[in-house]
Structure 1
Amino acid sequence: MGAGQSTGDDASTQGARGEHALTAQHLCMLLGHDLRNPLAAIDLATHLIARGPLEPSQASALAHIVSATQRAQELISELIDCIDSTRGRGLAIHKQSVTLHALVADALAARSRGSPAPVLEHDRIGEGACTADPARLAQLLDHLVGNALAHGAPQRPVIVASIIEASCFRIVVHNEGPMVPTERMPALFEPVSNGRTTPSGRSVGLGLFFVRQIAHAHDGEVHLRSDASGTTVTVRFPRTADA
């Protein structure tokens, strides 16, 4: 009886935990959607304020508000995407023809404007159009480069390569720095906590989780290699929708 009772209790506990997890996910989803309304109001207000004459200090403060609002909107989208992914729905993507090298160059330029003088190098290999969701590729690049800058050796360049081959294209991001222990690698692409922290002690969070989800949504794959020369993440995609 004791053994049977224990098994029943375990099943009941697991069922309760599952229900709590689903409730928490549902609440997070509702919260994410509801937060978009006040953020939209803030975004509209900043555009109206920007029309008038502003002192330099006011313009600087407004730019910070705009940047923070955009980041908050991105975080909400990522939260909703994360919940969808953990429920097995996968990420929504909208494939179209993209010019890979130009897309990567634009993403790196945007990252350079938002960071204190990061050293980013871009290697372009191959030519031709590729099929992918450009917004998702930009998101993937932002996460990969942000992670590389956070964990790379200070003042050493982060090297990004966009490579176009006959049947696939690849995005490769390399940073110098300490080798990632082998036992930590499986956790790097898990949501919320991936086993690594920034120099300030903060977790990288959902970044590498989304890299893997974006790759899988495109029928692609992610590979990570880390040794004495640094850490390299390679994301491989089929070049066309039919590949």
Structure 2
Amino acid sequence: MAERQASALREQFIAVLGHDLRNPLSAILSGMDIMALSPLDERQRLVAKVVKGSADRMSALIDDVLDFARGRLGDGMSLSRTPVRLGPILMQVIDELRSSYSERQISADINLPDAVDCDPGRLSQLLSNLVANALVHGSITGPVTILAHCNDGALLLSVANSGEPIPKAALARLFQPFTRDEIRPCQQGLGLGLYIASEIARAHGGQLAAKSNPNETLFTFEMPLTTPEFTGRPS
């Protein structure tokens, strides 16, 4: 009982800390946005770019900590589902990652002509986490391939990369939090990206699976499609 209470207290502390860090971080980001509008010399622009990049990374880490705390404290992954054209939303995520990793090859085949009932923000987060994981841990010379389509009443989204395969023992713990150092030591981050992606999949009633061999490492998200119920007078 004491161990469970101590664990709950630690996770509550993480949640409060992550929440309270947002205010000073927002001030830093706002200040950097204002500074970017002012005339700066080359050195000042470089410093502003570095600070802005670091603040954006801090913001992403705080998001990961808060999502982790919500899941562990029993609130679960919050969703705001709505029927949306998911294809353009996913392509925006891919284009942003292409801009950040301009030296890498990221190919995408997104075929989602119909509306999908989902939380578009959360699925964007899932895709971003999977692609970032592929870019960081995969071969720097091999492509990252993204496929998305609907088949047999399900949404299928996959991300593949080449490089060294994930050991079988590590695959069994891949979606557990804080396992990064066990799989790829000396990497940046908290090791929460895949855990959060799997929680997003589970919250949508789907699942996230991984397989890895010398040819490729493949992550596949599968979610059953639901038919949205629209109310109102017929036109």
Q: Same fold (TM over 0.5)?
A: yes
Determine if contact 2:83/2:228 at 8 Å carries over to the other structure.
no
Structure 2: gaps (5+ residues): 230-235
1:206 counterpart = 2:198: no
C-alpha separation in 1, matches of 2:171 and 2:141: 25
1:159 counterpart = 2:172: no
C-alpha separation in 1, matches of 2:144 and 2:112: 20
1:185 counterpart = 2:174: no
1:61 counterpart = 2:36: no
Identity %: 28
SS for the counterpart of 1:84 is helix
Offset at residue 80 of structure 1 (A): 1.3
SS for the counterpart of 1:228 is coil
Letter in 2 for 1:86: R
Q: Residue 93 of structure 2 is aligned with which of 102, 107, 110?
A: 107
1:128 counterpart = 2:114: yes
TM-score, normalisation: structure 2: 0.88
Name the counterpart of 1:49: 35
Offset at residue 59 of structure 1 (A): 2.4
Name the counterpart of 1:3: none
C-alpha separation in 1, matches of 2:51 and 2:7: 34
Residue deviations 1:88-135, cap 9 Å, x none?
321111112332222222111111222351210101335211122122
* Structure number with larger C-alpha Rg: 1
Greater shift, 73-82 or 63-72, is seen at 63-72
Query: 4+ residue runs of structure 1 moved beyond 3 angstroms?
Result: 200-204, 240-243
Q: 1:36 to 1:223 in 2, by over 3 A?
A: same
Q: Residue 78 of structure 2 is aligned with which of 75, 92, 95?
A: 92
Offset at residue 242 of structure 1 (A): 5.4
- Equivalenced residue count is 228
The Cα RMSD (Å) is 2.1
Residue deviations 1:35-76, cap 9 Å, x none?
111111112212222222122332232233222222212211
Offset at residue 234 of structure 1 (A): 0.4
